Structure 1
Amino acid sequence: MSFLTPAKRINKLGSAKSGVHHFVGQRVSAIALALSMPVFVIALAFSGAPDPAASRAFFGSAWGAILTLITLTATLYHMRLGLQVVVEDYIHTSGARIFLLIANTLITYGLWLAGAYALIRLAVTG
């Protein structure tokens, strides 16, 4: 039995001050994906993508690399925010939650670095 008043219990469970930022980030990344993904897919399709040389030329060009990087960044950021919500909502063990949130962030950054490295390599080698 707790001797705390209802107001005192509520004050301890207040806002973390990050909900609005997360909400806006999720919506902005969704809009960025809605705009960049069709452009990326259409540009890749018209570049002759099944041909390896044409794909290398597309990803090695300035236009293709920038479009790919924008789409990759929006996709990975949106994925990271979505998985963060899933972990926070459904993982109740504190240690597992912290581990998964850190792993989510590190894996997302690793995937972005791998994609950026691949684009740089394609741009350098042509």
Structure 2
Amino acid sequence: MRDTVITKDIIANPKTHYGNAKASTRHFITQRVTGAINILFLGLLLYLVVRLAGQDRTDMVAVIGSAWIGLPLAVLIAIVAVHMRNGMRDTLEDYLHGRVYSLVMMLNTLFCLVIALAGIGAVLKLVFWG
């Protein structure tokens, strides 16, 4: 592997290859779109917090078990997991490089996937099986 010092001249020159342009654009757009969708779903989250404040488990299961609430909540969990993975990727790219970066990114992806599957599974269980 050759050691190239990256300077402002290399970055400013559009003929140099600095990163993967398509992947970077996809990452940028995904981060902005998931952020916007999270803002839209904020109303659902606020409704759930206000509606379920002080309620017992039976009421929570009844509200989240409704398809009108549970299915959008499951979609929200998936979108938040994608947004979380991309946000952590930004931080990891700044501080880690090489094989350590690859390993930590794999662990980041695995963690976000486990969180998403557990959350979605729990909500869908309430929606379809009470």
Q: Deviations over 1:79-111 (max 9, x none)?
A: 10000111111113x121111100111111111
Letter in 1 for 2:90: V
Matches within 5 A, 1:1-126: 13-17=17-21, 18-47=23-52, 50-92=55-97, 94-126=98-130
- Given the two structures, how large is their TM-score scaled by the length of structure 1? 0.80
Q: Deviations over 1:50-92 (max 9, x none)?
A: 3211111112110111121122122111110000111111113
* Alignment length (residue pairs): 119
How high is the sequence identity, in percent, across the aligned residues?
24
Cα distance change on mapping 1:67 and 1:47 into 2, 3 Å? farther
- Given the two structures, how large is their TM-score scaled by the length of structure 2? 0.78
Structure 2 gaps, min length 5: 4-8
Structure 1 gaps, min length 5: none
Cα distance change on mapping 1:104 and 1:49 into 2, 3 Å? farther
Distance (Å, rounded) in 2 between the aligned partners of 1:56 and 1:49: 13
Letter in 1 for 2:64: F
Letter in 1 for 2:76: T
Letter in 1 for 2:51: F
Q: Does structure 1 retain, via aligned residues, the 8 Å contact 2:61–2:126? A: yes
Cα distance change on mapping 1:27 and 1:49 into 2, 3 Å? farther
Q: Does structure 1 retain, via aligned residues, the 8 Å contact 2:92–2:105? A: yes
Letter in 1 for 2:103: F
SS of aligned partner of 1:73: helix
Distance (Å, rounded) in 2 between the aligned partners of 1:49 and 1:108: 30
Alpha-carbon RMSD: 2.4
